[in-house]
Amino acid sequence: MKARTISINQIKGILVSAPEQVRSRFRALTSAQLISALERSRPVGNLTDPDNATALTLKKLAARYQFLEREILDTDKALAESLRNCAPLLRDVPGVGIEVASQLLVTVGDNPERIASEAQFAALVGVARNPA
């Protein structure tokens, strides 16, 4: 997720300093539209031309963003399947999505008996009211 965020930030950073001809094509687009438009683009020409070099760089960053997006979706799908097998009721708790439920299972680990109370769980995850 961090790498995906870095990719979109790089794209937007490049667009800020891109030649006006490149910048004006993408100015009014949302992030999703921007990624889609950049990935569909077909930059051609001499790479010594700043417009072409910028367009190619933006296309490659958009492709990286899309790859990372697919990887995140695939991972979420695998985690959701694992959660259905290991803790099917955990996702029914309000505010507990795939990431939170996965982290809870990792935190508890193979030793659920070490967490016999809310206080022990709070101490384990570092949110206890009173420091140990």
Let me know if residue 95 belongs to a domain: yes
42 and 13 housed in the same domain: yes
Let me know if residue 108 belongs to a domain: yes
Looking at residue 73, its pLDDT comes to 95
Query: What is the DSSP secondary-structure string of 12-60?
Result: HHHHHHS-HHHHHHHTT--HHHHHHHHHH----S-TTSHHHHHHHHHHH
Give whichever of 25-34, 46-55, 87-96 has the largest mean pLDDT: 25-34
Residue 10 has φ and ψ, to the nearest 5°, of: -65, -45
pLDDT surpasses 70 at 131: no
32 and 93 housed in the same domain: no
Looking at residue 66, its pLDDT comes to 97
pTM across the whole model = 0.74
- Only one residue has tokens 């505010």, namely 95
Domain range spanning residue 102? Answer: 87-132
Query: What's the domain count of the chain?
Result: 2
